[in-house]
Amino acid sequence: MRLHVNRISICGSDVHYYTDGKIGDFVVERPMILGHESAGIVAEVGSKVKNVKVGDKVAMEPQEPCR
């Protein structure tokens, strides 16, 4: 599936990384791009995709890579 991203936002964890440089045991030790809360429109789907269609508005979960 290919998406056209329309918006990206930051969440509470991004604020902690920015202000404190860490969350719990995870410490930012190199440059980190913040903003992973995303929404957009489905631009293309593969033959196995059955739950969305081109033009649908979607929110993305960046914690689950497809690889």
Q: Is residue 54 part of a domain?
A: yes
* pLDDT value of position 47: 94
* pLDDT value of position 54: 97
Containing structural domain, residue 43: 2-60
* pLDDT value of position 13: 87
Determine the Cα angle at 13 with ends 22 and 10, to 5°.
Answer: 130
d(C-alpha 67, C-alpha 23), whole Å: 26
Q: Is residue 28 part of a domain?
A: yes
Q: What global pTM score does this model have?
A: 0.66
Q: Is residue 33 part of a domain?
A: yes
How many domains would you assign to the chain? Answer: 1
Q: What is the DSSP string of 10-37?
A: --HHHHHHHHHSEETTEE--S------E
**pLDDT, tens digit only, all 67 positions of the chain:** 899 999 998 888 889 999 999 999 999 988 888 887 899 999 999 999 999 999 999 998 776 666 6
Q: Is residue 18 part of a domain?
A: yes
